[in-house]
Structure formats: structure tokens, C-alpha cells
Structure 1
Amino acid sequence: MTGLRGTLIAAAFPLLLITACAQTAGNHAAGASEPAASESAAASGSDDLVLRVESFGGFVPAEQNIGRIPTVSVYADGRLITQGPTTLIYPGEALPNIQEQLLTPEVVQDLVRRGAEAGVRNGADFGSPNIADAPYTRVTVGDQSVNVMALGEAQANDPRLTQAQRDARTKLSAYVKQLQSLSSAEGVAKPVRYQPETLAALARKYVAPQDASLAGPAKAWPGPALPGETLNENLGIGCVAVSGAEKDAVWKAAESATQITPWTSGGGKWSVTFRPLLPEETGCLALKGAK
């Protein structure tokens, strides 16, 4: 357990107290029979997800939707996990830049409240704009979630959207931008590299790039045999998940690899995409479900 993780867990208890008090007061005042997003965000453990922003679908290669990393994740103990900046070089580093920071319980509770105000509730209507092949944005607050097509791509005067739908999109878009800017917000702890307990490796048959010299020499795979369990039979993608000493060995090897490095295992060559599992994710099965 890292020092940051210990600090984060120490913050979980006051967050839960604040959440519970807010729920009790809100229920008493409103007398509502249907739970609000802030009520459903109560989390019983430090690894429970409170908020998330993620994208899926759109005009991208199908394999990129498997194991896609959420843009923003906030957990009950205040951990903020985001995608960090990457260098604009080709080929890119094999390991994704995932960052971890700490939010105070008060900030987390405020974000939950703002999520409800922004319209994050099951069944909310954001319409379908007149745009093809655009990605969906999923915003989750507790057990409330919305999937919005082309949230950032649709035109403000799109004729297929009603005024109410446009207004709803404007509010949600502002909330998403707030969440996406958390990592650089004033008062938020500086980011450190996220150290997962489990690292997944998504493997498929290696296809050399047009300029094969960019790939560099093949590296011997130090983990369980590839390709592992099948995640997508049509795309030929398998998955192995490693933890403990196996994870350390794979991580060390990946640090000197790129996204197009060929890996040798079982007499074959494989392309590997590395996907650190997030706190609530368990094994390759967490990456298998269709979005």
C-alpha cells in the first residue's frame, strides 16, 4: 500500500459521514420517494465509485473500445483517477499515463450535488442530434447514469434537438468540463502515477507497421501465456491479468516498450495494449462487457 493510498483511505470515513448526513437531511426536507443522485452516491467502501466520465462508441477502430480508460473517476475515499497528458510522438509509450490525486470529502460531496443539478439521473432526455458516428459520453453519479450522444460535437441549433434538450446538454456539458478540469484545479493535490494492484494485457496477433523499423526488437513476454482468455472472438483479442510479482515483472518490461512493440509468447508474436485495472475492476472480466 502506498503512502498516498493510506492517506486516501483515512479520508474515507469523514466523506461517508458527510454523505450520510446530507442524505438524511435531504430526505427529511424533500419527503421524496425516489432517490436523488446525491443519495445514491453513498459508498460503503473506499473502492466504491462515486463519479465517472467516460466515452464509448464513435468512429474509431472497434478494438479501441475494449478496455477504454475512463476520463475521470472519483472514489468514496476521495481518490481522483484521470488520464494524464501524453507526448505527441509515434510510437507512444506502452504504459498509459494514468494519474491519481486526492480530493477532500467536501469537494466530493459538492461534485455529487452538482451532478444532480446538472441532470444526471436515469432516463434523462438529451435527444439524438443530427450527427453520425459521434461518440457517446457516459456520466455516472452514484447509481444514476446518462449516456449522451455527441455531447461535445452537436451544433447548438441542431434541428433534431428541442430547446429543453439543448438546455439539458448545456448544463451537463458544463459539469463534464468541471470534472475534466479537476486534476489541475486550485487546492487539489499534485498528481502521482497511478499504481494499480492488477495490470491487464490485451493481446492480439501481431501485425507489423508499415515502417517495421519503428517497432524495434521483439521482447520476450514475462507473464502468463498470451493471448489469455478471449475478450472478443471476432477481433481476436485476448486478455491476461497479473498482480503481485508477476505484475511487477510485466510492468518493468513494459516501461521500455512502445505501443507497437512485438511481444513473443508461445511461439507467436503479439501486440499488447496495457490496461491498469481501476480500484473497482476485478480481472479481465471487468473489460469484457460491451458499452
Structure 2
Amino acid sequence: MHQLEQLKAFTTVVADTGNFLQLAQFTPRDATTNPSLILKAVQSPDYAPLLSETVAAHKGKPLDEIVDQVLVRFGLEILKVVPGRVSTEVDARLSFDTAATIARAKRLMALYEAAGIGRDRVLIKIASTWEGIQAARALEQEGIRCNLTLLFSFCQAVACGEAGVQLISPFVGRIYDWYKKSAGAAWDEAQQSGANDPGVKSVSQIYTYYKKHGIKTEVMGASFRNIGQIQALAGCDLLTISPDLLAQLQATDAPLNRALDAAAAAKADVPQVTYHEAAFRFALNQDAMATEKLAEGIRLFAVDAGKLDQIIESQL
């Protein structure tokens, strides 16, 4: 049995892609998208007709509304292929505006509902800023489930758990990237792999904390650079994996063991902590990696959101 099937015994496998034509071969339960993945998809000839058709159907509407129609259209196509949920992202340029994030999330959900999709099949993706977490708190209370993304630090995870969000996406690969770059020539790949990978350690710490303290928020490891990171997190609630790495797991037959276990985590000696706004901002500030990667992630998603705007405008 290949490792992708073995992994599915411990962990819900999610496909990290906007390419719904590619999804079926990996039979993931859920799928996640982001501005960069959607941008990549709309630039492919396979999806050009879908984009043109959606834009043409909504001509005359404000640009941001047309963008949301495009995002939801991709989500609807993905939901024809996966049995579970799709994650659709709020514009990253709203990452520091709680009210605007809530409004955009409600609009995305209304578009899904108008297309006959229930709230249980959609996660609204929001950056894990303080403002984003507070938006998610309010949305969850109204039954709109959220996926808090661009999560790099323990304080972000704790605040998300306290806000009652459905799911978090800690970014394994981007944490690994930062530590590797910062170490430079001193980086030892063998020493910093598997359970010692800094991204893997971050997700393991969050998983253990949540299970120890009965926090219901789902942990979905994201942004992987190699299958070793995935293998080291087997047993995590969910893992969202790119098609390239899904294919590598399918091509590997070695036995895969569970690495994270809820029962073991529940016995860990980990004190409970809490973060009000000032403490959250200070803790994030003290973590150079998380501060830099959160800011960079928002900037990159904002750039790609701008490019998507331009592509749509060119068709108007």
C-alpha cells in the first residue's frame, strides 16, 4: 500500500490546489485554495473559459464582487470532486480590518449558499492577524466556519483556539525556509529533518497543546517542502498537500508510522496560557520568524490578488 493510502488511515488528506481537473486522482477529502493558487489556475488554458464565462456573467458589478464570484466558481467546481470542504480566502488586503473581513466572508458564504452549498462544506480562509482572529470569532458565532491561515507561531494558535475557530493552517514549509535561510552555511539538513524540522516542531507543539487542553479547533499542517515533513506529522488532524507531493507519496511504498497521537498528547505536561490583544501582539513581536513570515505572506497574497484583479479587469 502506498504512503498516501497509509497516511489516510491516520490523517484527513486535503489537496492544496486550485486545479480541480487534477484532484480526482488523489481522492482527497477536502481542498484548499489561496490567491496564488487561483491566480495560477486562471492563467492556465484549461481554466480560461471558466474565468471568461464568470466575468461575462457579472459585467457591470464592482470588481471586488466579480473577484468573489470567480473564487466561488472555482470552489463550486472543486466541491464537485471532493466529498468534504473547500477553503476560500478573503482578500489578503483586508487582513488588518476586522469589519471588512467579516463583510467579505459573509458575502462569500452567501454566494455558496445561493448555489445550493451548505455552510458545512465551506471554510472561509482568513490570515491569522489579531484582526483576522477577531473576525473569525464573530463569524464562528454566526455559524460561518473559518480556516485561519498564515499561522507561524504558538501565540497565533492559542488565540485561534480561544476564538473557537474551526481550523488552523500552520505553515510548515515557510517556517523551515526561514530557519534554513537564517542559518546560512551552518544549516545541517540531516539534523534539521523529520521530527527536528522547525516547521514540524511548531505544528507538533500546537497539536499537543490543543489535545492536552481539549481545544476543538482542527490542526491542518500546510505548506510542505518535502514528504519527510508530511511523514513526520502523520496523525495530525489534517494535512493539506500540493499535487506534486501527493504524487510522491503515491509513489512511495515504505511503511508509514503515526507520529502524532491525541492520547499521548493528552498526557503531556503543558500548561494552559491565554493571550489578550497586547500580550498577543508582544508575543508575536518577540518571534522574528513569525512576524516576518506573516507580513511576507500577506504581502505576497496581496500582490497575487492584485494580479487577479488585473486579469479580470482586462476581460471587462
Per the normalisation by structure 2, the TM-score is 0.23
More helix by share: 2
More strand by share: 1
Larger Rg: 1
Per the normalisation by structure 1, the TM-score is 0.25
Higher relative contact order (CA 8 A, sep 6+): 2
